[in-house]
Amino acid sequence: MKDNNDMPGHLARRFQQIAVAVFLAEVEDAGFDLTPVQYAALATIKANPGLDQVTLAGLIAYDRTTITGVIDRLVQKGLTERRASSRDRRARELEITDEGRKTLRAITPAVEAAQRIMLRGLTDKEANELTRLLRKAIAAGNELSRAPLREAPT
Partner DNA sequence: TACTGATGGTCAGTATACTGATCAATATTG
Partner DNA sequence: CAATATTGATCAGTATACTGACCATCAGTA
User: Alpha-carbon torsion 113, 115, 119, 125, what sign?
Assistant: negative
Query: Could you tell me which residues are beta bridge partners of residue 96?
Result: 80
| Other residues' Cβ atoms within 10 Å of the Cβ of residue 23 | 22
Q: What is the identity of the amino acid at 113?
A: A
Say whether residue 150 binds DNA (CB under 7 A): no
Residue 91 or 113 having the CB closest to a second copy: 113
x/- letters, 32..61, toward DNA (CB under 7 A): ---xxxx-------------xxxx------
Dihedral pair phi/psi, residue 38, rounded to 5°: -65, -40
Please report how close the Cβ of residue 57 comes to DNA at its closest, in angstroms.
Answer: 7
x/- letters, 54..93, toward a second copy (CB under 8 A): ------xx--------------------------------
Among a second copy, DNA, none, what does residue 28 contact (CB within 5–8 Å per kind)? Answer: none
Say whether residue 152 binds a second copy (CB under 8 A): no
| Other residues' Cβ atoms within 10 Å of the Cβ of residue 75 | 15
x/- letters, 95..134, toward a second copy (CB under 8 A): ----------------x--xx-xxxxxx---xx-xxx-xx
Alpha helix (H) residue ranges in the chain: 8-29, 36-47, 53-60, 64-76, 98-118, 124-141
List CB contacts of 146: < 8 A, sequence separation 6 or more: 63
Residues lying near a second copy in the complex (CB under 8 A): 1, 4-23, 25, 36-37, 40, 43-44, 47, 60-61, 111, 114-115, 117-122, 126-127, 129-131, 133-142, 144-147, 149
